[in-house]
């Protein structure tokens, strides 16, 4: 029945090729019209199940808040140079108004200067209150010493956590700058001016205004784009524009290194790298496939015909996908590439047998009929089992996998239909055209693959040996396969490019991963609670939220009395008490006390392994490891003792300069007015509040490289403790992996069942159906065993190749068994010489296509290419090794 229908169809195509082609043309026109509306949804959230709360929350945040992605400029070099570089480049970048909304790299001094103390916690306010009783130099130093002893030296809890260590390092930095300025006033009076004092006071009060690492060697500029990171064209344009600006300025600073990182430039570089890898791989694959076709078919036009057939299949698939799903996602966007790898097989089977038959049969019609009779069933069963394997993925809850299954299932069916309709019609038309031009029938030349026939014969002869050998090898590799490890480090799959290296630089310098998670709150109070919770979590690093700039009223009211008291105290500082030569002794006493405090702090930090503090202390007191080390304080004391008169004069000048500035800034900072949302500058507000003003964004960064699976897992678990609503690219990615893991297992089981049922129906024999499954199962085991034996790992990318192997691997067995059924089960030599040749060619083209990916320098594609190449080769070898042997074993028993 099936054969009769196939013969009828072959006869129709051979006699009416133009009708078939006309129908295909109409189909293509409609498909192009539909496919032009096909949407590309390229967000991670588009891969999660529809209605997934995490994906919905992510999409809502992206819509409501502008600040969900950033471009980071990393500047490295000496402190002064990188700060100058940053000051010069920031306005230049802000000029790129089409792409950049604003650049953040410094503390908002104006806002902090007006509300600083209302943003300080009560514990620190208590300590600060006493520190500014008297702003004159000697009492101020005395209070700093008191504070030091109370805060750091006297309380080793003060340095226990990394946050506290950072705070201590910042305080020491301010103090260093203060002492350095004193030193400038005494030793280089020419450099002593108001600007220096301004900068000193700011640094003393606010810390370093730049977003700079503790060692002052790395500075970060955060550029907020005007567009979403999914707009790939703008990603590319903005990255290029910023890089041009960096290059222009870089010339002036030969000792400074600057680069760009973040999701936006990463997307640009990943795309460029992918294009480069794909281009190189495609060229290599194309050349190798053409060579293979020419050697096997001795026919220049064979690759063109097969390619044309695939283009038709891809266009029709795109049209149907638009009508059924309406979009492509991150996974389905590469359906065309996969279809080329899989769909070309049907063309090979058809061309291979047709060429053979053309040399045997008298006319085209008969040759086509015989071709369909021999390979038609194999193509249909092979395609339907592959399509079924893909359609089985539709049970997945994740949209990414579900849609991938449906799109590829449709694609395979389309490739099957075009291979049985368009391709034979094209073959007939081509031959007629050649006949018209050359005025004679040109029969295709056929390369015989006799060696395959011989191998088949040998296997049949020594079947027991081959079967036992195959089972033993599979068994050994099964053991290896069980020990195959998974590579959880996603960054190792990224190409070796500066954008990736700079992410590591940021993690090292700032202890934060540039990728972040987000959670929203409906009130300032709720946001504050979330921020506090997140800050207490050990895997979470920087937490940004509205509480940083506008704490809840209840918190502000608790701080208010301290801030008021502080303001009163500062206000009472009215009199500058000039220093006299005889009061220098008190000053020196305080300086010596300060030196001792910092020495002890340095020693505690040294045994505590807190290098940041130790390094800062060394700047002030010298290196304690050197016996004769002379620190800044001791030099200052020496200078004062050497030239007391000059020192008094200069220190009075120093005091006269800083006193009013310090007092004013302190007074302004101690503003007890409540900070309200309305009073926040727009520039600050938009970071945390949506346009309606009813939703507040909390941004949470991981402490370590978030794309390391263990870190990601820990980060996500702790985020869940902060809020079950937390979202963002890293937690969504983990969520997706978990869902895929769950779905993948069921989809694989279902696929195997569906494939077995289809084979059973097709062969009408359970025994043959099971036989068809053997090459797939043993091939899969061998593939994983070889991977383990060669030190390869499974990863998040190459694991996606496994369902493809199921689809590809089943084909070889199906085609061989079909041919056996047609030719007879004793015709091993004929089956392997003809169908064996076809499956060898399909395997080789697939291996070449995917194997070419291994030549690229993109580790992710390399790993996928390697897995597929090994898998396809293994399935072919297992088909040739097991099927003839087992068939002949059964025959002998019968």
Nearer to another protein, 307 or 624 (CB): 624
73, containing H or E segment = strand 71-76
Stretch that binds another protein, among 46-54, 306-314, 531-539, 634-642 (CB under 8 A): 531-539
Residue 538 makes contact with another protein by CB under 8 A: yes
Which residue stretch of 217-225, 490-498, 594-602, 640-648 sits at the interface with another protein (rule: CB under 8 A)? 594-602
Measured from the CB atom, the residue of 152 and 449 that comes closer to another protein is 152
| DSSP assigned state of 161 | S
CA distances from 308 to 57, 63, 404, 531, 844 (A): 44, 42, 23, 58, 20
Contacts of 627 (CB under 8 A, 6+ apart): none
Q: Is 479 exposed, middle or buried (0-12, 13-18, 19+ CB in 10 A)?
A: exposed
* Window contacting another protein (CB under 8 A); options: 76-84, 444-452, 521-529, 603-611: 603-611
Candidate residues 189, 624, 644, 660; the one interacting with another protein per rule CB under 8 A = 624
CB 79 within 8 A of CB 216: yes
Give the residue, chosen from 80, 195, 607, 645, that forms a contact with another protein under the rule CB under 8 A: 607
The rounded Cα 249 to chain-centroid distance in angstroms is 30
Q: Which of 109, 162, 170, 649 binds another protein (CB under 8 A)?
A: 162
Site membership for another protein, residue 610 (CB under 8 A): yes
Q: Which is nearer to another protein, 559 or 714 (CB)?
A: 714
Residue carrying structure tokens 């099927």: 883
User: 536, 679, 745, 753: which one contacts another protein (CB under 8 A)?
Assistant: 536
Asked if residue 40 binds another protein (CB under 8 A), the reply is no
Token readout for 176 is 């260093």
Q: Are 35 and 318 in contact (CB under 8 A)?
A: yes
User: With binding defined as CB under 8 A, does residue 130 bind another protein?
Assistant: no
Which one of 126-134, 428-436, 607-615, 793-801 is the stretch in contact with another protein (CB under 8 A)?
607-615
Residue 496 CB, shortest distance to another protein, in Å, is 22
Restricting to residues 163-202, name those near another protein by CB under 8 A. 165
| 616 belongs to the binding site for another protein (CB under 8 A) | no
- Would you say 394 or 596 has its CB closer to another protein? 596
DSSP 583: G
Of the pair 468, 721, the CB lying nearest another protein is at 721
Burial 623-648 (b: 16+ CB within 10 A, else e): eeeeeeeebbbbebbebbeeebeebb
Strand partners, 698: 519
Binders of another protein among 757-786, rule CB under 8 A?
A: none
Residue whose CB is less far from another protein, 139 or 608: 608
Place of tokens 């190792």: 492
Q: How many residues bind another protein (CB under 8 A)?
A: 32
CB 216, min distance to another protein, A: 14
The least distance separating another protein from the CB of residue 162, rounded to whole angstroms, comes to 7
Alpha-carbon span 559 to 548, nearest angstrom: 14
- Please identify, among the stretches 200-208, 470-478, 534-542, 729-737, the one whose residues bind another protein according to the rule CB under 8 A: 534-542
Candidates 63-71, 282-290, 336-344, 595-603; binding stretch for another protein (CB under 8 A): 595-603
**Looking at beta carbons only, is 154 or 469 nearer to another protein?**
154
Query: Smaller CB distance to another protein: residue 535 or 653?
Result: 535
Least distance to another protein, CB of residue 318, Å = 46
With binding defined as CB under 8 A, does residue 603 bind another protein? yes
CA separation for the pair 683, 678 (Å, rounded): 12
CB of 795 to another protein, least distance (A): 22
- Please state, in angstroms and rounded to a whole number, the distance separating the CA atoms of residues 886 and 463: 7
**Using CB under 8 A as the criterion, what x/- string covers residues 710-739 for binding another protein?**
----x--xx--x------------------
Smallest separation, CB 628 to another protein (Å): 12
Is 7 or 162 the residue whose CB approaches another protein more closely? 162
Q: Number of C-alpha atoms within 13 angstroms, CB side, residue 307?
A: 10
Considering only CA atoms, which of 267, 43, 55, 51 is closest in space to residue 735? 55
Q: With the CA atoms of 641, 646, 647 and 648 taken in that order, what torsion angle do they form, in degrees rounded to the nearest 10?
A: 110
Minimum gap (Å) between residue 348 Cβ and another protein: 52
Beta strand extents in 641-785 (DSSP E only): 696-702
For residues 579 and 651, the answer to whether their CB atoms sit within 8 Å is yes
Burial class of 855 by CB neighbour count within 10 A (0 to 12, 13 to 18, 19+): middle
Q: Should residue 87 be labelled a site residue for another protein when binding is judged by CB under 8 A?
A: no
Question: Structure tokens of 510?
Answer: 């700032």
- Residue 103's SS3 state is strand
Binding letters toward another protein, positions 139-158, x by CB under 8 A: -----------x--xxxxx-
Binding marks (x or -) toward another protein, 656..695, rule CB under 8 A? Answer: ----------------------------------------
**Per CB under 8 A, 606 contacts another protein:** yes
Tokens of 681: 């500058």
Which part of the chain contacts another protein (CB under 8 A), choosing from 291-299, 472-480, 598-606, 679-687?
Answer: 598-606
Complex with another protein: residue 180 or 535, whichever CB lies closer: 535
Which tokens go with 125? Answer: 């306010």
Asked whether 783 and 805 are in contact (CB, 8 A), the reply is: yes
Q: How far is the C-alpha of 511 from the C-alpha of 490, rounded, in Å?
A: 19
629: contact with another protein by CB under 8 A: no
Residue matched to tokens 């090292």: 508
Nearest distance from C-beta of residue 596 to another protein, angstroms: 6
Regarding 604 and contact with another protein (CB under 8 A), the answer is yes
Measured from the CB of residue 710, what is the shortest distance to another protein in angstroms?
9
CB of 744 to another protein, least distance (A): 25
Q: How far is the CB of 507 from another protein (least distance, A)?
A: 12
Both structure tokens of 743:
């779905």
If phi > 0 it is left, if psi is from -120 to 50 it is alpha, else beta; for residue 216 that is left
Among residues 612, 788, 829, 833, the one that binds another protein under rule CB under 8 A:
612
The answer to the question of residue 609 lying near another protein (CB under 8 A) is yes
Closer residue to another protein in complex, CB, 596/752: 596
- If you compute the radius of gyration of the chain from its CA atoms, what whole number of angstroms results? 37
Length of the chain: 894
Q: Which of 201, 120, 130 is nearest to 167 (CA)?
A: 120
DSSP state, residue 853: G
Q: By rule CB under 8 A, what string of x and - marks binding of each residue 487-526 to another protein? A: ----------------------------------------
Q: Of 111 and 488, which has the nearer Cβ to another protein?
A: 488
Which of 125, 339, 539, 640 is the binder for another protein (CB under 8 A)? 539
Q: Tokens standing for 810?
A: 């089943």
200 Cβ contact list (under 8 Å, min separation 6) = 177, 178, 180, 181, 658
Give yes or no for residue 537 binding another protein (CB under 8 A). Answer: yes
Q: Is residue 634 involved in binding another protein (CB under 8 A)?
A: no
For another protein, give the closer residue by CB, 157 or 574. 157
Place of tokens 């030793």: 187
SS (H, E, C) 205-239: HHCCCECECCCCCEEEEEEEECCCCCCHHHHHHHH
E-strand stretches of 496-563:
516-521, 540-544
Interface residues with another protein (CB under 8 A) are 150, 153-157, 160, 162, 165, 536-539, 596, 599-600, 603-604, 606-612, 624-625, 704, 714, 717-718, 721
């Amino acid at each position: 029945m099936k054969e009769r229908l196939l013969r009828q169809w072959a006869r129709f195509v051979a006699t009416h090729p133009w009708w078939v082609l006309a129908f295909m043309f109409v189909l293509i026109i409609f498909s192009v019209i539909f496919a032009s509306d096909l949407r590309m949804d390229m967000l991670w959230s588009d891969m999660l199940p529809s209605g997934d709360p995490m994906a919905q929350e992510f999409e809502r945040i992206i819509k409501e808040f502008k600040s969900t992605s950033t471009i980071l400029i990393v500047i490295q070099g000496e402190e002064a140079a990188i700060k100058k570089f940053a000051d010069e480049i920031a306005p230049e970048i802000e000029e790129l108004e089409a792409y950049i909304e604003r650049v953040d790299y410094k503390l908002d001094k104006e806002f902090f200067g007006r509300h600083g103390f209302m943003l300080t916690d009560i514990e620190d306010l208590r300590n600060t209150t006493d520190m500014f009783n008297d702003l004159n130099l000697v009492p101020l130093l005395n209070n700093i010493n008191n504070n030091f002893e109370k805060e750091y030296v006297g309380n080793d809890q003060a340095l226990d956590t990394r946050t506290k260590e950072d705070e201590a390092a910042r305080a020491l930095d301010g103090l260093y700058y203060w002492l350095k300025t004193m030193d400038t006033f005494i030793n280089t009076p020419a450099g002593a001016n108001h600007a220096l004092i301004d900068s000193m006071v700011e640094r003393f009060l606010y810390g370093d205004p730049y977003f700079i690492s503790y060692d002052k060697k790395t500075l970060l500029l955060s550029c907020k784009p005007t567009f979403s990171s999914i707009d790939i064209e703008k990603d590319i344009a903005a990255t290029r524009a910023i890089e041009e600006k960096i290059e222009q300025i870089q010339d002036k600073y030969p000792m400074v290194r600057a680069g760009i990182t973040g999701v936006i430039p990463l997307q640009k570089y990943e795309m460029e790298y992918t294009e480069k890898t794909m281009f190189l791989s495609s060229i290599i694959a194309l050349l190798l496939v053409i060579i293979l076709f020419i050697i096997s078919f001795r026919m220049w036009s064979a690759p063109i015909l097969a390619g044309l057939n695939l283009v038709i299949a891809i266009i029709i698939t795109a049209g149907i996908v638009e009508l059924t799903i309406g979009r492509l996602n991150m996974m389905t966007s590469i359906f065309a590439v996969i279809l080329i790898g899989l769909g070309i097989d049907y063309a090979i089977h058809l061309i291979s047998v047709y060429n053979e038959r053309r040399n045997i049969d008298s006319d085209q019609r008969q040759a086509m009929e015989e071709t369909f009779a021999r390979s038609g069933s194999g193509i249909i069963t092979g395609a339907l089992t592959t399509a079924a394997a893909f359609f089985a993925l539709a049970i997945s809850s994740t949209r990414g996998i579900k849609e991938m299954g449906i799109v590829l299932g449709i694609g395979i069916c389309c490739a099957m239909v075009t291979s049985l309709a368009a391709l034979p019609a094209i073959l007939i038309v081509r031959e007629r055209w050649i006949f018209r031009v050359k005025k004679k029938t040109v029969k295709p030349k056929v390369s015989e693959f006799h060696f395959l026939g011989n191998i088949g014969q040998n296997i049949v002869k020594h079947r027991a040996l081959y079967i036992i050998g195959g089972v033993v090898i599979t068994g050994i590799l099964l053991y290896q396969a069980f020990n195959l490890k998974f590579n959880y480090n996603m960054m190792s799959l990224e190409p070796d490019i500066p954008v990736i290296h700079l992410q590591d630089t940021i993690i090292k310098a700032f202890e934060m991963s540039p990728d972040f998670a987000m959670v929203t709150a409906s009130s300032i109070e709720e946001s504050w609670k979330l921020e506090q919770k997140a800050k207490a979590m050990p895997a979470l690093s920087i937490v940004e939220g509205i509480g940083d700039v506008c704490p809840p009223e209840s918190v502000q009211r608790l701080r208010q009395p301290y801030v008021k008291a502080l303001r009163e105290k500062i206000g009472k500082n009215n009199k500058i008490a000039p220093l006299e030569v005889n009061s220098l002794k008190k000053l020196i006493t305080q300086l010596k006390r300060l030196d001792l405090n910092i020495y002890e702090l340095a020693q505690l930090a040294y045994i505590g392994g807190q290098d940041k503090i130790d390094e800062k202390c060394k700047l002030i007191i010298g290196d304690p490891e050197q016996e004769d080390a002379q620190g800044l304080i001791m030099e200052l004391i020496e200078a004062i003792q050497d030239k007391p008169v000059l020192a008094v004069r200069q220190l009075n000048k120093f005091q006269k300069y800083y006193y009013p500035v310090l007092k004013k800034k302190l007074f302004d900072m101690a503003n007890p007015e409540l900070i309200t949302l309305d009073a926040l500058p727009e520039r600050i507000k938009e970071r945390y509040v949506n346009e309606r003003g009813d939703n507040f964004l909390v941004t949470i960064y991981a402490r370590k490289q978030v794309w390391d699976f263990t870190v990601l897992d820990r980060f996500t678990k702790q985020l869940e403790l902060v809020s079950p609503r937390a979202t963002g690219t890293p937690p969504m990615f983990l969520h997706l992996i978990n869902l895929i893991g769950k779905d993948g297992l069921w989809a694989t089981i279902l696929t195997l069942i569906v494939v077995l049922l289809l084979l059973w129906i097709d062969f009408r024999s359970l025994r043959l159906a099971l036989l068809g499954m053997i090459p797939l199962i043993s091939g899969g085991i061998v593939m994983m065993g070889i991977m383990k034996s060669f030190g390869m790992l499974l990863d998040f990318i190459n694991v996606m190749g496994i369902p493809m192997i199921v689809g590809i691997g089943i084909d070889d067995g199906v085609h061989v068994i079909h041919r056996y059924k047609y030719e007879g089960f004793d015709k091993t030599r004929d089956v392997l010489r003809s169908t064996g040749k076809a499956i060898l060619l399909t395997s080789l083209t697939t291996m070449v296509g995917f194997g070419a990916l291994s030549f690229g320098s993109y580790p992710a594609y390399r790993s996928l290419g390697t897995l597929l190449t090994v898998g396809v080769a293994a399935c072919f070898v297992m088909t040739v090794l097991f099927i003839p042997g087992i068939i002949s074993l059964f025959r002998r028993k019968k």
